[in-house]
Amino acid sequence: MAETGLSHWSSREMAKYLKRAEGISVSHNFIAQVWRDHDLQPQRQGTFKLSNDQDFEAKVADVVGLYLDPPVGAVVLSIDEKTQVQALDRTQPVLPIDFAKTEKRTHDYVRHGTTNLFAALDTVTGEVLGECYPRRRTTEFLKFMDRVVARYGDHEIHVVLDNLSTHKGEDVDTWLTKHPGVTFHFTPTGSSWLNQVEIWFNIITRQAIRRGTFTSLRVLIKTIESYIENWNRDAKPFTWTATPGEIIASVRILHRDFKKLLANNAK
């Protein structure tokens, strides 16, 4: 169907195509029913990235094991950075929602700078420790880790991280030597979805950042700080149910399907 130029199909477009190209005359309602019967949802899409980490299974077992069965008396933190958060201000005031009227905003905006949000999600309580920095380097990462230790230093601390270069290196190794109560656990490469704080980043983006109007960078940072404070008043942990075995089995299926697709495209 490449000759149509379409990458997104509706039931009406499919019915038109079948009639023109195949001489089959069916209604778009029939097409839609066939999709429903076979649980096909062409109106939706997702993203994926297959990990090539040779230690994928071991790292999944390690990280998910912390979620499902955290060490007694220890704190398990999911840590990452949301980079380049923009302070966007609309060129005209937002028209607020009203009865029978949707909120309206100008399509153009003014940028007032960016910040980098470092966040640590306590996977047991759901509470978040967050701080904004102008840059995202190992220096800022270790400053944030100092805050983490200041808050949770009386406990054994396990930290789930991705494989970003700022999370590794000589400076990080030196810091870890000075803080023997802290252990880093790295997700497999290309598997940031295993890091629970990514779920929280999606929530704060949707609820406070994406549709926000910020007249300055300071207003953006204050908004983030207020959101975190409010979140922690009623914090609840995310419920993680997938076992390492279930995750590994699902990823194996993706790898199998991906190899089949590559083989078919090579023909």
What CATH code is carried by the domain that includes residue 139? 3.30.420.10
Identify whether residues 21 and 147 lie together within a single domain: no
Answer whether 0.85 is exceeded by the pTM: no
Identify whether residues 157 and 125 lie together within a single domain: yes
* Per-residue 3-state assignment (H helix, E strand, C coil) for the chain: CHHHCCCCCCHHHHHHHHHHHHCCCCCHHHHHHHHHHCCCCCCCCCCCCCCCCCCHHHHHHHHHHHHHCCCCCCEEEEEEEEEEEEEEEECCCCECCECCECCECCCCEEEEEEEEEEEEEECCCCCEEEEEECCCCHHHHHHHHHHHHHHHCCCCEEEEECCCHHHCCHHHHHHHHHCCCEEEEECCCCCHHHCCHHHHHHHHHHHHHCCCCCCCHHHHHHHHHHHHHHHHHCCCCCCCCCCHHHHHHHHHHHHHHHHHHHHHHHC
Asked if the structure places residue 188 within a domain, the reply is: yes
Identify whether residues 123 and 213 lie together within a single domain: yes
Residue 9 — pLDDT band, cuts 50, 70, 90?
Answer: confident
How much is the pLDDT for 266? 60
Which candidate, 204, 208, 260, places its Cα nearest to that of 235? 204
Asked if the structure places residue 249 within a domain, the reply is: no
| pLDDT tops 80 at residue 166 | yes
Asked if the structure places residue 24 within a domain, the reply is: yes
Identify whether residues 106 and 198 lie together within a single domain: yes
| pLDDT tops 70 at residue 131 | yes
106 and 206 in contact (C-beta within 8 Å)? Answer: no
How much is the pLDDT for 142? 97
Identify whether residues 94 and 18 lie together within a single domain: no
Please identify which residue in the block is written with the tokens 């409010």. 230
Identify whether residues 25 and 106 lie together within a single domain: no
Identify whether residues 117 and 36 lie together within a single domain: no
Identify whether residues 119 and 227 lie together within a single domain: yes
Residue 133 — pLDDT band, cuts 50, 70, 90?
Answer: very high
| pLDDT tops 60 at residue 261 | no
Over residues 215-254, the pLDDT tens digits come to 999 999 999 999 999 999 999 999 998 888 888 887 777 6
Asked if the structure places residue 206 within a domain, the reply is: yes
Domain that holds residue 38: 9-46
Q: Give CA separation, 218 vs 86, 144, 165, 192, 195, in Å.
A: 11, 19, 28, 29, 28
| pLDDT tops 90 at residue 52 | no
Identify whether residues 115 and 207 lie together within a single domain: yes
Number of domains in the chain: 2
Asked if the structure places residue 169 within a domain, the reply is: yes
| pLDDT tops 80 at residue 154 | yes
| pLDDT tops 90 at residue 106 | no
Identify whether residues 172 and 72 lie together within a single domain: yes
Asked if the structure places residue 118 within a domain, the reply is: yes
Please identify which residue in the block is written with the tokens 């008396």. 73
Asked if the structure places residue 51 within a domain, the reply is: no
Asked if the structure places residue 248 within a domain, the reply is: no
Identify whether residues 101 and 233 lie together within a single domain: yes
Identify whether residues 117 and 162 lie together within a single domain: yes
